[in-house]
Amino acid sequence: MSEVRKKAKIALEDGRVFEGLSFGADGERYGEVVFNTSMSGYQEILTDPSYKGQIVLMTYPLIGNYGVNKNDAESARMFVEGFIVKENSSIASNWASEGGLGDYLRSNGIIGLEDIDTRALTKHIRVKGAMKAVISTVESDNATLVKKASDSEGLVGRDLVREVTSSREYDWNTEGKYKVAVIDCGVKFNILRHLAARGCRQRVFPADVDHKTILDWAPDGIFLSNGPGDPEAVTYVYATVAKLLGKKPIFGICLGQQILGLALGGRTFKLKFGHHGGNQPVKELSTGKVSITSQNHGFCVDLDSVKGKGVEVTHVNLNDQTLEGMKSDKLNFTSVQFHPEAGPGPNDATYLFDRFIDKMKR
């Protein structure tokens, strides 16, 4: 199917407008525009539930050149509100390719925008911060689009977990030495694959599950997944986790770490433009080891808010010194803000899954 190219725009709430050409679906969508520095892995990014409510801008200039396939998806569908690239490759060449990026976006109802100055937009976000925006293929003047962006709903105070979590509990796999209860706030498939590969039988529970349901299943460990939106808005999740602390080994990733911080009585805050990409340096304090990590988050735990609660800082971000990992031996949990499962990104931090297995062994 040939690409349909028509004029399209991205308008930011502060009045900045970029015009380019569309690929993918038609229409108008709203979200917070953020940039991702990954050089590849665009299909995994598109299907990451943590991007619900966001328009993703890729900084790498050529996207789509190796196509898409069903095995690279990180969830059952796309969750981004829009997708912006410098150039969408007209050729998809790869032995595993099952189609092109434009058709993939179109079949999922997602608007794509190309042929804009992605460097200028990225620099604008770095200076001004992530902000509300509208991406549109509908004929409209700039002032109207800017007002629509300004009037749209932001991420602060917004519970997006309910829009991505499973509607029911289910078994991801039914064999394994260790039973792991997964609280699904928008879990990525690659997390479940890593746990399964290490001998874990997994039952996935909706985000609004109560603590008794989880404990009645008698798991050996509990996993708190990644997910979108403002962590302070998902009060029902961290209220449940507060009742699970100390009962079983707990491992949290990304939103999972933020939920743990809130369950302890701490606070979270919004980063200026977040961490999105596959090249974030993180230092483990106990070993001095630096890992290059995959990240996707716009919020972070306020370290001062969890001081005095028996929490030890385990990892820090070397770019901005923000909290990237913590643990509590007393409450038997570990967590990281980055994504050790990658998908996409480097595999430097997969050792963290092995540590979770060791905790369940003990």
Number of domains in the chain: 2
In the chain the first and final C-alpha atoms are separated, in Å, by 55
How far is Cα 10 from Cα 25, in angstroms, rounded to an integer?
14
Q: How many CB atoms lie within 10 A of CB 29?
A: 18
How far is Cα 80 from Cα 1, in angstroms, rounded to an integer?
22
* Domain that includes residue 22, residue range: 7-151
| Same-domain pairing of 128 and 177 | no
How far is Cα 93 from Cα 95, in angstroms, rounded to an integer?
7
How far is Cα 179 from Cα 202, in angstroms, rounded to an integer?
6
Give a yes or no: residue 46 inside a domain. Answer: yes
Query: What is the model's pTM?
Result: 0.95
In the predicted structure, residue 2 carries a pLDDT above the cut 70: no
Tell which of 151, 186, 221 closes a domain.
151
Per-residue model confidence as pLDDT tens digits over 48-102:
999 999 999 999 999 999 999 999 999 999 999 999 999 999 999 999 999 999 9
| Same-domain pairing of 53 and 133 | yes
| Same-domain pairing of 116 and 186 | no
- Domain harbouring 282, CATH code: 3.40.50.880
Per-residue model confidence as pLDDT tens digits over 96-148:
999 999 999 999 999 999 999 999 999 999 999 999 999 999 988 999 999 99
- Domain harbouring 86, CATH code: 3.50.30.20
| Same-domain pairing of 133 and 187 | no
Per-residue model confidence as pLDDT tens digits over 157-210:
999 999 999 999 999 999 999 999 999 999 999 999 999 999 999 999 999 999
How far is Cα 300 from Cα 325, in angstroms, rounded to an integer?
10
Give the CA count within 13 Å in the CB-facing half-sphere of 269: 9
Sheet of 312-317, strands arranged across: 170-173, 200-206, 178-184, 221-224, 250-253, 333-336, 323-328, 312-317, 268-284, 290-301
| Same-domain pairing of 135 and 232 | no
Q: Which residues are catalytic?
A: 254, 339, 341
Tell which of 151, 173, 202 closes a domain.
151
Give a yes or no: residue 238 inside a domain. Answer: yes
Give a yes or no: residue 351 inside a domain. Answer: yes
CA 248 to chain centre: 25
Tell which of 151, 178, 195 closes a domain.
151
